[in-house]
Amino acid sequence: MSTFEIPKDGLEGLKQNWRADAMSGFLVFLLALPLSLGIAKASEFPPAMGVLTAMIGGLLVSFFAGSRLTIKGPAAGLITICAGAVNELGGGAEGWHLALGVIVVAASIQIIFGFLKLGSLSDFFPHSAVHGMLAAIGLIIFSKQIHVLLGIDPSTLKGLEPVELYKMIPHSIMNADPRVTLVGIISLVIIFGMPLLKSPLVKKIPPPMVVLMVTIPMALIMDFQHTEPAFDLVKIGDFWGTVGINADFSMIGTGVFWKYVIMFLFINSLESLLTVKAVDGLDPWKRISNPNKDLVAVGLGNGVSAILGGLPMISEVARSSANVNFGGRTRWANFFHGFFLLVAMVAFIPVIEMIPNTALAALLISVGYRLASPNEFFKTYRIGAEQLVIFVTTIVVTVATDLLVGVGAGIAMKFFFHVINGAPIRSLFKARYELHESNGEYQVKVIDSAIFSNLIGFKKLFHKFAPGKKVIMNFSDARIVDHSFMEALHHFEEEYQHGGGSLAVQGFDNFKAFSNHPFAARKLDPDAKFKIEIKLSPRQMNLRAFAESNEYAFYPQRVRSAMKYKNFPIQRGLKIQFEENIMEKFLEHGRIDVSDVTLSEGALSATLETQITLVLITEIEIPIPDFALEPEGLLTKFSELAGTKDIDFEGHPEFSKKYYLRGDQEEKIRAFFKEPILSFLENREETHIECHKNKLLFYKKRAFLETDEILYTEKFAEDFLQVVMESHSQPASVTAHD
């Protein structure tokens, strides 16, 4: 169990957390190296310039960033813009140099925006339109990289639009290079197959590095260097000779130059700011980033990178999410990731030049799939059908035209839905509310609408609230509240409760939600309070029967649990989305809750959902130190390398072999785990147990449990608590005698 004392920053942070940050930085480096090469090549930049970008993002930007856990580097979301800029500005080396000039100018404006504190403008863009833009980028990436994976000469694809590239796929399949295609297909099997393996250790290994470990030997065995065209292998050349003053500003007076300045500035800033916000939600210490400071830092990194020849960088979501999961604690993880990339470019360029381009194409196809996977459509539809329409509109228009027009179409569609659902024109851009403060309590009456386009005004309101107070948001005078506002309200609730305050929401009794998603948009419907619909799923019907036979109260509704599991180790790198199917009853020595919880790992397009059944015991009568107990395995050995310690008991080798016990207060933990408790755990099946603030959390596996498994876990929890009470409670007669 990692300490929940906030890690220090600066040199003190390096001294305190260097092990964990160096380990995480190394693992992120393994992920970043092949992706940086592939992104640069797909962007029509020299491949090694992608590594240069990530190096600068780590070695330089980490010192100025306003976020602690984000990883800075090149992003797949900018491939379309980079390649478009290079090709429209002349192509080849000339287009590359002119595109660098564009990036430098965009970076300069980005720095100014940061100093003007315009980072909050990212809130104006509706999530469905942004996700639609990213999905469109994913489809565009796939349209080209599928041909590279098949061994087709990339020079024959230049200038072709995505629709034309899709039409060419059958022709490329018929003319595929069998050996090159074999390497690409094996790469895809590794990338998509590894996440399906259940081993926690395997989940810690970056699939891109496994791809390189497999495909480089394959290319050597098949002698790609002498039997295949030069375009089938990565070419680095004189990397250090290429790094220098490369930006060319000679076309600064043209419209195409400024077109790409705007596109770089808009997409780069938006993606980076959204990632910073999303990764804050994954931070175990709930630190809040400074988006304006981070925007300045990214602008600085973009400027330096482009001057020297590199791509634009952002706070990249997949690598940032991986950093959280790998145990990164401070900005030094980003620094170490850049340091290891520097070492690679100093010592391992000959090895890098053995990488087959078809393997990099497979990596980019996986990125494109993640951005535009069927699951993205399904997740959007779950929020509401209108969100799916906005999402698809953005995709279609983006693929048919360009990114700016596509996002504009998505925003226009969002406005259309808001107007037809009752949003008054006067409130489209202005947050209308009444604020009253009395007796340490804020009362806010929301008027007309609370939607994406007036969200900035409501966020300014949120910043006015002093910490530790009670806030009541009343929506009885509103007509529509959209998904963007509901999600922002949820984030505010988490942050405000973390600071000791509380939030209560009122006035939704007469509203109709667009779906059963907790963050779904909702509009005023006077008949809503008379419409009571309770439709249970087969699982819920089974759980209701189980609850009735085991004397549980059963609540099937989905609820947000911002504070219930706060600071439990299970939230390390994860975010609890909602809780449902709650069963609760009182025990002799406490209260037990059983519930299905949906957690998310990663952020934005890198989000993966995990469903788990948790058993929580509260209202325990004796003090228990915070600890985390989990079955021993290779992954726990890996954790020790990052600086955590396994608390063993010499007199109980079976327990020490079976379980990995962590916690900050080792003496208190040792005193708590008395002989009967250790013996109990030695003679039962392994179960995860966590304790925080005198509450015990149990779970058997990271999946929903069937009723027989719930019964076992519940019985395990009750028996464990009984042994604890017997071990730490003195008989009344002994107490009186003393």
Q: What is the pLDDT of residues 654-708, one digit of tens each?
A: 998 899 898 888 999 999 999 999 999 999 998 999 999 899 999 998 889 999 9
DSSP E strands, 213-365:
314-316
Q: Which of 43-47, 250-254, 608-612 has the lowest mean pLDDT?
A: 608-612
Euclidean distance between CA atoms 157 and 7, whole angstroms: 49
Q: Is pLDDT of 221 > 60?
A: yes
How far is Cα of residue 451 from the mean position of the Cα atoms in its chain?
A: 24
Nearest C-alpha neighbor of 324 from the set 288, 282, 291 = 282
Task: Map out the domains of the chain as residue ranges.
Answer: 13-376, 425-530, 539-728
Coil/strand/helix, residue 709: helix
The SS3 of residue 563 is coil
Residue pLDDT, tens place only, 636-652: 555 555 556 789 898 89
* CA dist list (Å): 598 to 438, 488, 560, 609, 697: 37, 19, 10, 7, 16
- SS3 of 508, please? coil
Give strand pairing partners of 660: 630
Average pLDDT in the 546-571 region?
A: 84
Instruction: Tell me if 96 sits within 8 A of 46, measured CB to CB.
Output: yes
| Architecture of the 425-530 domain | 2-Layer Sandwich (3.30)
DSSP bridge partners of 478:
448
Q: Where are the beta strands (DSSP E) in 640-725?
A: 659-662, 688-692, 695-699
Instruction: Check residue 734 and give its pLDDT.
Output: 41
Helix/strand/coil for 50? helix
Q: pLDDT tens-digit profile of 602-646?
A: 766 667 788 899 999 999 989 999 999 988 865 555 555 555 678
Residue 573: the pLDDT is: 67
How many residues would you count in the chain? 738
Which residue type occupies 441? E
Distances (CA, A) of 456 to 258, 317, 390, 428: 27, 23, 21, 12
Given this model, what pLDDT does residue 708 score? 94
Which tokens go with 487? 């999600």
First to last CA, the chain: 37
- Mind listing the pLDDT tens digit for each residue in 340-393? 999 999 999 999 999 999 999 999 999 999 999 998 999 899 899 999 999 999
pLDDT band at 558 (very low <50, low <70, confident <90, very high): confident
C-alpha 338/C-alpha 332 separation (Å) is 10
